Amino acid sequence: MDIVYIRDLRIETIIGIYDWEREVKQTVSLDLEMAHDIRKAGETDDIQYALNYKSIAKRLIAFIEGSEFLLVERMAEEVAAIVLNEFSVPWLKLRVSKPGALRGSKDVGILIQRGVKPEGVAV
């Protein structure tokens, strides 16, 4: 099994538990690693056999921009469910971070894995 990835997908949204966070949009950054067998796409050069990362990114941007989560944990669970269920991805690793959320730190966030990890996928 191969990995298709999206790195540092930045999206503006309302997220956080503090009053001021409910009033201003903040940037969240997503890194996704998604299990997908790319051999048929590689052999045929046909997009129908590829995992369409542009479609995934557009779906997640629209979803997150329209959301107002309190916690990044909840956002991560919802994002993982979308990718697993709507794009038939069997396994993913997802990093959700809030750049600049903690003074003195580049970013803070969480890293989750969901789905069934296929044989041969290194974590």
CATH class, domain 2-115, is alpha beta
CB atoms within 10 A of CB 30: 22
pLDDT over threshold 80, residue 18: yes
pLDDT of residue 123: 59
Euclidean distance between CA atoms 79 and 104, whole angstroms: 28
Specify the higher pLDDT residue, 100 or 97.
97
How high is the pLDDT of residue 102?
Answer: 74
Stated pTM of the model: 0.92
Average pLDDT, the chain: 94
Is 50 within 8 Å of 110 (Cβ atoms)?
no
The whole-number average pLDDT for the span 35-61 is 97
Return the active site residues.
Answer: 98
